[in-house]
Amino acid sequence: MVNLFDRLIRGLANIAFAAMFLVTLLQVIARYVLARPFIWTEEMARSLYVWMTFVGMVVVMKEKEHITVDFLINRVSPPFRHLAALVGETLMLLFAVVLFAGGVNMVINTHRARLPSMPIIRYSLVYLAIPVGAFCLIVCLVRHLASGVNRATSVGRGGEN
C-alpha cells in the first residue's frame, strides 16, 4: 500500500511536469514558428505549475531532499540532531494541517470562478492541488515521524541506529 501511494504521487508529479512542459513547448512553437499564439496555454501551464509544486513537495519530502541549512545541526551530538529532526518534522506536520484546511477553504470559495481563457475549468480544480498536496504531505510526515520514534525507541533500548 505504501509503495502504491508513493508511485501514485510520483506519477502525478511527473504527469504535471510533462504536461506543463508540453503546453509551454506548444506555446513557444505557436508563437514563434506559426506566429499564432494560443490564448489558453499560459494559463494552463501556470495551473499545471501549481499542481507540480504541491505534489512535487511530497516527492521531495519523501526522499528527504529539501534544501536544508545544517551548519548548526552538524555541530551537535547525534541524539540532539535526531531530536531536532523530530521537532522539525512535527512543525512541518502542523503547517501541513493548516495548509490542508486553508486549501479546502480555497477550493470551496473558488468553486464558481472559472479560468478566463478556459471557462470549462474552474479555479477550484487548480486550487485542489493545495489540499491534495497537503494531505499527501501529512501522510508522508506521519510515516517519517513514526519511523523516527521507532528508531529513537530502539536506540533507547540498546538497539542499533
Of 9-13, 65-69, 134-138, 147-151, give the lowest mean pLDDT range.
Answer: 147-151
Q: What is the pLDDT of residue 64?
A: 80
Q: Which one-letter amino acid corresponds to residue 152?
A: A
Q: What is the pLDDT of residue 1?
A: 67
Q: Confidence band (pLDDT; 50, 70, 90) for 26? A: very high
> Domains of the chain: which residue ranges?
2-156
Q: Which one-letter amino acid corresponds to residue 139?
A: V
Q: What is the pLDDT of residue 105?
A: 96
At 120-133, the pLDDT tens digits run: 999 999 999 999 99
For residue 114, the cross-strand partners are 122
User: What is the torsion angle, in degrees rounded to the nearest 10, for the CA atoms of residue 41, residue 44, residue 45 and residue 47?
Assistant: 160
CB 56 within 8 A of CB 13: yes
How far is it, in rounded angstroms, from Cα 64 to Cα 68?
A: 10
At 63-106, the pLDDT tens digits run: 888 777 777 778 888 888 888 888 888 999 999 999 999 999 99
Report pTM.
Answer: 0.82
How far is it, in rounded angstroms, from Cα 93 to Cα 83?
A: 15
Cell numbers 529539501: residue? 66
Is the pLDDT reported for residue 161 higher than 50? Answer: no
Q: Which one-letter amino acid corresponds to residue 95?
A: F
CB 82 within 8 A of CB 92: no
The DSSP result for 60-72, as a single string, is: HHHTT-S----TT
